Amino acid sequence: MGAQVTFQAQANGQTYDIGADLGILQGELELVATVYNSPAPGRAQIVENGQVRVEVAVEDGQATLGYMTQADSTASVVS
């Protein structure tokens, strides 16, 4: 089995897992990704709108990344 990844968003004292609807959130949003059980060294990234926002080495099979951004429910509206 390859590397495992968890990804969560944290806002207003709440934690949201992958698949949660964050469409109504406004304000500060912390994104946290964890890589574990990686059989080989590598790099892990958090990418926002095509831009690498944070990148860390995966060492000893694991890495943790954190990134602060602003949640803006108006930015995800499609017309």
76: confidence class by pLDDT, cuts 50, 70, 90: low
Q: What is the tens place of the pLDDT at every residue in 23-73?
A: 888 889 999 999 999 998 999 999 988 999 999 999 999 999 999 998 877
Predicted TM-score of the model (pTM): 0.78
Contact 44, 63 (CB under 8 A): yes
Q: What is the pLDDT of residue 78?
A: 47
Q: With CA atoms as reference, report the closest residue to 25 among 16, 33, 34.
A: 16
* Distance from the first to the final alpha carbon of the chain: 41
State residue 75's pLDDT score. 65
Pairing of strands 51-58, 42-48: antiparallel
Which two three-digit tokens encode residue 12?
């207003």
The residues, ordered by sequence, that sit 6+ positions from 48 with a Cβ below 8 Å of its Cβ are 67, 69
